Amino acid sequence: MVPSNSFSAALSNSVGGNNQAGKLDLPFLACPFRGFSVSSRNPLPCRRIKAQNSSFVAATLANEAISSEQVSEALPELFEFKGYMKGKAASVHRALEQCVPVRFPEKIHDSMRYSLLAGGKRIRPALCIAACELFGGTEEMAMPSACALEMIHTMSLIHDDLPCMDNDDLRRGKPTNHKIFGEYTAVLAGDALLAFAFEHIATATRGVPSGKVVRVIAEVAKAIGPKGLAAGQVVDIANEKNANVDLELLEYIHLHKTAALLECSVVSGAILGGASDEQVEKLRVFARCNGLLFQVVDDILDVTRSSEELGKTAGKDLLADKATYPKLLGLEKAREFALELKHKALNQLSEFDESRAAPLYGLTEYIASRQN
């Protein structure tokens, strides 16, 4: 595997000055969803995925630790993140209500709306809109893609909760979709949300050149297909009882299952807003760091918070004997890794206008410090 020059250059320029020579090695951030291979002689469940270099986790933990105070110094001042998120979440919620109305057959639309409008943090739509606005775009330009990304995220949650996958009864503090509507309706509701997401991007986007809309559709398709979310999910499920899961394989799972859609959200917004190719790649690294950060924090919360605090079943991964970052690294090393990921994500924003990038700084801070 040879990392692409654009990613290698972006990483060297953005974080090279903050690490001792020879210590920075980020092979899994080098190129989007390439360089991973499962041997045809060793079908799933996989035992190991080989990389050219050491894993991102090991390389990150080898770097000098960064304190939370040092990271916080980089955050823009006078930006009210909670207010920003509340406003964007309300805008996205209104748009989702309008684009997925109740119509015949009511059962599938009720099922779609039940999960789509159940609340949630709306992180992915907010990332898409914030990245678009960073380059002079508007909320209106990004909203169809932002809504589509939330539809796809909701689809992944509906399907992830099914008995054949994670078999969960609780999501966002409410019964999961299949518990209310039945399994076949839940499957079809997820399928419908996935298909409609692409239709919505293609037909509802305004004020954006058609070539950029096509690029966004391609990014979204890649993020959820066999090079993205679907790949991460199948490897995750196939290795639930595999005692040989190591950090490299765990990293593969979460770069695809979790980080891919966050990455797609940021990159899509940047494309819609008119970012250059170099700027897009810098934000791709930013988003991928945040994607892994989201999962590391999720794993930590799973073993340190109750079901009531999380709004979903706590300790489920531990009971299922699934590989997690606290399990493989230990709780303190997992926390250290999360802090390093946060620092690396923030470094990618250093060349952008601070006031316009403020929502992205805030989102990174939020992902790192969230409690549910």
SS3 string of 140-194? HHHHHHHHHHHHHHHHHHHHHCCCCCCCCCEECCEECHHHHHCHHHHHHHHHHHH
Residue 325 has pLDDT above 50, yes or no: yes
Token pair listed for 25:
């090695």
- pLDDT, greater one: 22 or 248: 248
pLDDT at 308: 67
pLDDT at 317: 62
Residue 67 has pLDDT above 50, yes or no: no
Looking up tokens 């809309």 gives: 213
Band of residue 312 on the pLDDT scale cut at 50, 70, 90:
low
Quick one: average pLDDT of 108-136? 95
What's the CA dihedral at 248, 251, 257, 258 to 10 degrees? 180
pTM of this prediction exceeds 0.85 = no
- pLDDT, greater one: 360 or 22: 360
CA–CA separation, 67 and 339 (whole Å)? 8
Residue 237 has pLDDT above 50, yes or no: yes
> For residue 316, how far is the Cα from the chain centroid?
21
Band of residue 27 on the pLDDT scale cut at 50, 70, 90:
very low
Q: Could you please report the per-residue DSSP string of 70-129? A: HHHTTSPSS--HHHHHHHHHHHHHHHHHHHS---SSHHHHHHHHHHHTS----HHHHHHH
Token pair listed for 344:
């690396």
Quick one: average pLDDT of 100-111? 96
pLDDT at 167: 87
Residue 175 has pLDDT above 90, yes or no: yes
Among 58-62, 63-67, 149-153, 233-237, the range of highest mean pLDDT: 149-153
Band of residue 166 on the pLDDT scale cut at 50, 70, 90:
confident
CB 298 within 8 A of CB 314: no
Residue 14 has pLDDT above 60, yes or no: no
CB 194 within 8 A of CB 155: yes
Band of residue 266 on the pLDDT scale cut at 50, 70, 90:
very high
CB 65 within 8 A of CB 23: no
CA–CA separation, 276 and 258 (whole Å)? 25
CA–CA separation, 361 and 67 (whole Å)? 16
- pLDDT, greater one: 105 or 61: 105
Q: What angle do CA 338, 343, 345 make, to 5 degrees?
A: 95
Amino acid at residue number 75: L
Q: What is the mean pLDDT of the chain?
A: 80
CB 145 within 8 A of CB 219: no
pLDDT at 217: 98
% of the chain at pLDDT higher than 90: 63
Residue 296 has pLDDT above 80, yes or no: yes
Buried b (16+ CB within 10 A) or exposed e, 340-363: bbbbbbbbbbeebeeebbbbbbbb
pLDDT at 370: 83
% of the chain at pLDDT higher than 70: 74
Band of residue 40 on the pLDDT scale cut at 50, 70, 90:
very low
Band of residue 12 on the pLDDT scale cut at 50, 70, 90:
very low
Band of residue 111 on the pLDDT scale cut at 50, 70, 90:
very high
Residue 157 has pLDDT above 70, yes or no: yes
- pLDDT, greater one: 66 or 315: 315
> For residue 263, how far is the Cα from the chain centroid?
6
CA–CA separation, 364 and 291 (whole Å)? 10
Check the CA dihedral 77-81-82-88 and report its sign: positive
Of 13, 52, 15, the residue nearest 31 (C-alpha):
52
Looking up tokens 């689809």 gives: 155
pLDDT at 207: 96
Of 208, 214, 221, the residue nearest 261 (C-alpha):
221
Which of 67-81, 136-150, 309-323 has the weakest average pLDDT? 67-81
What's the CA dihedral at 308, 303, 338, 132 to 10 degrees? -30
pLDDT at 320: 59
CA–CA separation, 313 and 303 (whole Å)? 11
Band of residue 284 on the pLDDT scale cut at 50, 70, 90:
very high
Q: How many CA atoms lie within 13 A of 132 on its CB side?
A: 27
pLDDT at 119: 83
Which of 8-17, 71-80, 83-92, 162-171 has the weakest average pLDDT? 8-17
